[in-house]
């Protein structure tokens, strides 16, 4: 079954054709990052307008690159939640029009479920159940994936998402948006023990995260140094901070795995491209847990992951009606269509 998948929840206009949830026939991503960088973050109205401009070309290219015509496509999948509402509406409405024009079923897909599904492309043998660390710019969750469309959140962030924590600290150091990527590169050259950082815990909730205190600690450190006119050893700050954020993620994730008796661990989302997170998980899981991480090109937002998850949503009978709407906030275990 060939699914044409569309993603427009944030600042990437993306489309892909995916066969049977596992094989990518095309994967086209048009990024708007350069423009949002001018403002230090994603500007929602600009995002919506750029999606509107790009979507026809991106979908057309995805279909052509896959060597298909619209007639070869069996269904259209689209991200309907969560995300920037104006951005989501562009993809949802385009997909609805396409579905109406072609008579193919419309599959509503949850963005975080799709991030998890990027692993089905990278690892053909991977099947639920497993425990997944979903870490993106907007979310940080530990999710028990019981089945392809049946999930339970075990832990979540109480404040900033991991990607947000990286981006905000990077911004304070003058690193352009989205700073998480660059901070990761700079950290590779720094001394991670140069600046001891707090290791925040959420009282009574061992699987929940809190990054705001850590972010404040690094911002205070930067400001204090600047006020005193002292030079800031950026690589050391990046390395120390990255170690602390990654430490929080791995500690809670592995505790949840141990307590729940999960033996298969998976990561997903933009932050799962982080080099230290990948190395640390490999080290901690070695011989104890089966670890799966998406290939780096599938960590950030893309259409292929929507096509992968869309396939399993279709098998579960999740077909949208013509009144499908975009939803800005929707728990990962809920369906609203
Ligand atoms: O999943 P994603 O592409 O979009 C959302 O759904 O939010 O995640 C984007 C986030 C950004 O905050 C970005 O800085 C972060 O992922 N990110 C990274 C790395 N690559 C992307 N954070 C740390 N290290 C990286 N290598
Ligand atoms: Zn995402």
Q: pLDDT tens-digit profile of 30-52?
A: 999 999 999 999 999 999 999 99
Helix (H) and strand (E) counts in the chain:
10, 10
- To the question of pTM greater than 0.85 for the whole model, the response is yes
Locus of tokens 């991977």: 126
Ligand nearest the Cα of residue 140 is: 1
pLDDT at 227: 93
pLDDT at 169: 95
- Dump the DSSP string for 88-136: HHHHHHHHHHHHHHHT--EEEEEHHHHHHHHHHHH-TT--S-EEEEEE-
Over pLDDT 70: what percentage of the chain?
Answer: 100
Atom 2, ligand 1: which residue's CA is nearest? Answer: 270
> What is the band of 152 on the pLDDT scale with cuts at 50, 70, 90?
very high
In degrees, to the nearest 5, what angle opens at C-alpha 40 toward C-alphas 14 and 224?
140
Question: 104 C-alpha vs ligand 1 centroid, how far in Å?
Answer: 33
pLDDT at 260: 98
Contact 96, 37 (CB under 8 A): no
Locus of tokens 């959140």: 153
pLDDT at 296: 97
pLDDT at 74: 98
For the CA of 111, the closest atom of ligand 1 is 6
Q: What is the mean pLDDT of residues 148-155?
A: 98
Ligand nearest the Cα of residue 161 is: 1
> What domains are there in the chain, each with its CATH number?
2-117+298-315 (3.30.420.40), 129-296 (3.30.420.40)
Contact 84, 329 (CB under 8 A): no
Q: Which of 33, 300, 306, 330 to mutate to test the pocket of ligand 1 (most atoms within 8 A of CB)?
A: 300
Q: pLDDT tens-digit profile of 199-221?
A: 999 999 999 999 999 999 999 99
Average pLDDT, the chain: 97
Q: Which of 8, 173, 180 to mutate to test the pocket of ligand 1 (most atoms within 8 A of CB)?
A: 180
Question: 230 C-alpha vs ligand 2 centroid, how far in Å?
Answer: 37
pLDDT at 273: 98
């Amino acid at each position: 079954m060939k699914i044409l998948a569309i993603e427009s929840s944030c600042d990437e206009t993306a489309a892909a054709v995916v066969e049977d949830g596992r094989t990518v026939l095309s994967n086209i991503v048009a990024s708007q990052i350069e423009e949002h960088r001018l403002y230090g973050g994603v500007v929602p109205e600009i995002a919506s307008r750029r999606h509107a401009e790009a979507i026809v070309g991106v979908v057309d290219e995805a279909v052509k690159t896959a060597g298909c015509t619209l007639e070869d496509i069996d269904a259209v999948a689209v991200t309907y939640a969560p995300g920037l509402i104006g951005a989501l509406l562009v993809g949802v409405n385009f997909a609805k029009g396409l579905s109406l024009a072609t008579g193919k079923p419309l599959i509503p897909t949850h963005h975080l479920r799709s991030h998890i599904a990027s692993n089905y492309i990278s690892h053909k043998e991977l099947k639920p159940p497993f425990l997944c660390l979903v870490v993106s710019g907007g979310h940080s969750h530990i999710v028990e994936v019981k089945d392809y469309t049946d999930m339970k959140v075990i832990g979540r962030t109480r404040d900033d998402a991991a990607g947000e924590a990286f981006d905000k600290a990077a911004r304070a150091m003058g690193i352009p948006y989205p700073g998480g990527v660059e901070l990761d590169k700079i950290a590779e050259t720094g001394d991670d023990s140069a600046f001891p950082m707090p290791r925040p815990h959420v009282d009574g909730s061992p699987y929940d995260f809190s990054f705001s205190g850590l972010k404040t600690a690094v911002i205070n450190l930067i400001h204090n140094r600047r006020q005193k006119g002292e030079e800031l050893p950026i690589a050391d700050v990046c390395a120390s901070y990255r170690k602390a954020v990654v430490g929080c993620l791995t500690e809670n994730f592995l505790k949840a795995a141990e307590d729940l008796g999960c033996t298969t661990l998976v990561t997903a989302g933009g932050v799962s491209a982080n080099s230290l997170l990948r190395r640390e998980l490999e080290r901690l899981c070695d011989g104890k847990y089966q670890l799966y991480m998406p290939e780096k090109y599938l960590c950030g937002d893309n259409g292929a992951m929507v096509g992968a998850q869309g396939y399993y949503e279709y098998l579960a009978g999740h077909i949208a009606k013509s009144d499908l709407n975009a939803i800005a906030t929707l728990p990962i275990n809920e369906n609203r269509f």
